[in-house]
Chains A and B, each alone.
Chain A
Amino acid sequence: MRRPARAALAGLALLVLAALPWFVSTYLVTFLYLALTTVALAQSYDWVGGHLGYLNLGQAAFFGIGAYAGGVLLSKALPLPVAFAAAVAAPALFAAAIAVPFFRLRGAYFALATFGLVALMELLASNLEGLTGGALGLSLPPGNRLMPAYYLTLVEVALIVGITVWVNRSRYGLALRGIQDDEEAAGAFGVSALRVKCAVLVASAAVAGLTGGIYGWYITFLTPPAVFGLDKALGPIVMAMLGGSGTVAGPFVGAAFLNVVEEVLRVKVGAYVLTAYGIILILVGLFLPNGIARHPVWRRLFGAAPAA
């Protein structure tokens, strides 16, 4: 498929998603909003996990910090832009702080260390009651915010997909791929691996944080297990992997597929939804671990046109 055709396609998808809320039930809008949240998390995860090759299993920590940072400020009646700014800044600063020590780890060790981060954050959120309300939860000013939350997240997703496309084609994207393939060699070519890795982690954290801030604002009540729980922690990551970690379309495709499948299963079948979900994951892991977007059929439909 030619580049202009793909761009037009993406534009069409965006238009459809923008227009839908006016035509469908609020139930479907809620479903789409929550699905878009997972897309944002999956895409931001994949910058580090797919393009850089460092599996940051702790992406939900950034999401949660953003949700709480924004939430705490909102609960103190500070204006929304300030709360959102905090939702972006707090996890970004946290990411900047932990980047250097964490990036000394590689492969499975990096994955493990980051996996522990989410558990740690959940515990901290529970312990620091004075700040976060602890296990009793944090109450935000109530309001019906489905539409604004939906559109904010849609814009956010459009932006980050655009950024992914642009970076992928730029020299920066080359640097990322170089680091993933061989970090030392990339260094020999003048790529400051550490600086690039830190920058990407901070960006990833900022996006996750903003998504979290919007989520908290929409849901109006935060508790540690809801925000740092396993479906927020592992769901988006699995979606990125299933769709094709490291590709541009991967996270979106994986998220679309899994969200739709899970919802249809839950509504139509009702029982054993997670079992079916688990079996799908096993099958994908065995037969399609590179993801849907790398499968020859997909490539033929949407992949780059062959050189003339």
Chain B
Amino acid sequence: MLMRRWVGWVAAGLLAVAAATGPAPAAAQESILVGASLSMSGPFAEEVGPFKKLMDTWADMINAKGGIRLGNRNVPIKFIIHDDASKPDESIKAYERLVTVDKVHILLGPYSSPITVQASTVAEKHGIPMIALEANSTAIYTRGFKWLVGVIDDGPKWSHHYFDMLKAEGKVKTMAIVIQETGHTKEAGGGAVAKAKAVGINVVVEESAPARPVDYTPIIAKMKAANPDVVFVAGFPAFNVAFYKQALEQGLNPREYHVIHHGSAFRKAVGEAQANLVIGENYWMPGIKKGNWQMFEEMLQKTGIKVEDYPWAGIRMFGLDALKATLEKAGSLDREKLMAAAWTVDMETISGRLRFQKKGEAANPNAEGQGTLNPFPTQIQDGKYVTLWPQDFATGKHVFPRGAR
């Protein structure tokens, strides 16, 4: 009968999805399962694409030494990572699958604040701890979530170390700022404006520009007229390249350029000669010898990943450090214990001391769970990234002004 055939088709379709999305094969022995979604395709792949290798290499290195110490035994650790295609909806599905089908014990966050904002709702719903990674938007941490902490500090504090340096040097009086209209860059740019004023720098131009490239002549004209000491560009690499090129073409030549994301994507696109002496921010660069830096360098070497190509690798590293510390402090895989343990983490990492801030510590009174790690100002000097500030992380001196072009 036709009816039965129809029912058969519908059932088959559903079974196909259910079967295809079945759980990962069960581990032969007890192991710690850590779940995460990663943008392995889509626009964000250019920022974090190869990080699965990084995380798996870390797991291999840990397991080679016996694994993670849980209570009185050593347990191997394993990552289950799904592609979220750079989309929040996919990330939600991925985390749902990780929790309900793959049955992981603890979660790491996805890349970017917009995706983490959604992904964390899954952790909250199921009551399973999530350690967020590349996610620093204030909005993520002001919802009163109980199952979330994040390793990096509040978005607006992005450039604070840079401004502390400028204040100490006392040479910069005026600054012009252009901000790309995306969540992260608006927070970083807005924070820069506020901090500039707080350290006594006069912000002579403050402009916003669309997320996609346009003609920046109006903004550049304003900046030229104002003749600032520093031009501060708060954008993602593609925006920064577009703006910087147009600025140079039109002869905007301040004493310093600050471009918040100036990894090799930026540097190679504008050329070594033009990129020289540009300052930006990084969480870690070779030369900083803090925390687990040796293990990190070994991981980078094994996977062939360079921090200048993938600046967020540093965050992954101290995220993994925090994960290990949480597991060891909890001594068990019980979710409540893990979450409580996360809150007690206080450790030295490659970017400094990491702790998760309690409610009331951050600028926003409702924020809780944000980490204490901020990136450092680094300057491109002859193709190398030199960390400038604070002193105990510095690997070189600030070259200022940058000279005529």
Contacts and interface: CB of A to CB of B under 8 A. Distances in A.
Contact of B20 (A16, A256, A267, A273): A267
Nearest to A272: B41
Interface in B240-286: none
Interface stretch (A60-68, A192-200, A258-266): A258-266
Interface of B: 2-3, 5-7, 10, 13-14, 16-18, 20-21, 40-41, 82-83, 85, 87-90, 92-93, 96-97, 99-101, 114, 117-118, 121, 124-126, 137, 139, 142-145, 181-183, 186-187, 210-211
25 contacts: A9-B3, A16-B10, A25-B96, A25-B97, A25-B101, A27-B96, A27-B97, A28-B18, A31-B17, A34-B93, A134-B181, A137-B117, A142-B144, A144-B121, A144-B124, A144-B125, A219-B118, A225-B114, A225-B211, A226-B87, A263-B93, A266-B90, A267-B20, A270-B83, A301-B5
A24 interface: yes
A223 interface: yes
A271 B121 contact: no
A221 B96 contact: no
Contacts of B89: 34, 219, 226, 231
A301 B215 CA distance: 57
A126 interface: yes
Given A8-B3, A30-B93, A31-B17, A271 B41 contact: yes
A226 B117 CA distance: 12
Contacts of B20: 263-264, 267-268
Residue picked from B6, B16, B125, B187, most chain A C-beta under 10 Å: B6
Contacts of B92: 30, 219
Interface string A205-220: 0000000000000011
Contacts of B99: 26-27
A159 interface: no
A231 B87 contact: yes
Interface of A: 1, 5, 8-9, 12-13, 16, 20, 24-28, 30-31, 34, 123, 126-127, 134-137, 139, 142, 144, 146, 219-221, 223, 225-226, 229, 231, 256, 260, 263-264, 266-268, 270-271, 273-274, 301-302
Given A27-B93, A136-B187, A264-B17, A273 B139 contact: no
A135 B83 contact: no
Contact of B16 (A12, A126, A127, A260): A260
B41 A126 contact: no
Contact of A260 (B17, B40, B101): B17
Given A25-B100, A28-B18, A221 B139 contact: yes
A29 B335 CA distance: 24
Given A135-B186, A221-B117, 5 more contacts: A136-B139, A263-B93, A267-B21, A267-B82, A274-B85
Given A27-B97, A220-B121, A264-B20, A301 B10 contact: no
A200 to B, nearest CB: 28
Given A5-B3, A268-B20, A27 B100 contact: yes
A263 B181 CA distance: 32
Nearest to A24: B18
Contacts of A270: 40, 83
A142 B121 CA distance: 8
B182 A135 contact: yes
A123 B210 CA distance: 8
B21 A27 contact: yes
A137 B183 contact: yes
Contacts of A144: 121, 124-125
Nearest to B83: A270
Nearest to B87: A231
Given A34-B93, A264-B16, A273 B41 contact: yes
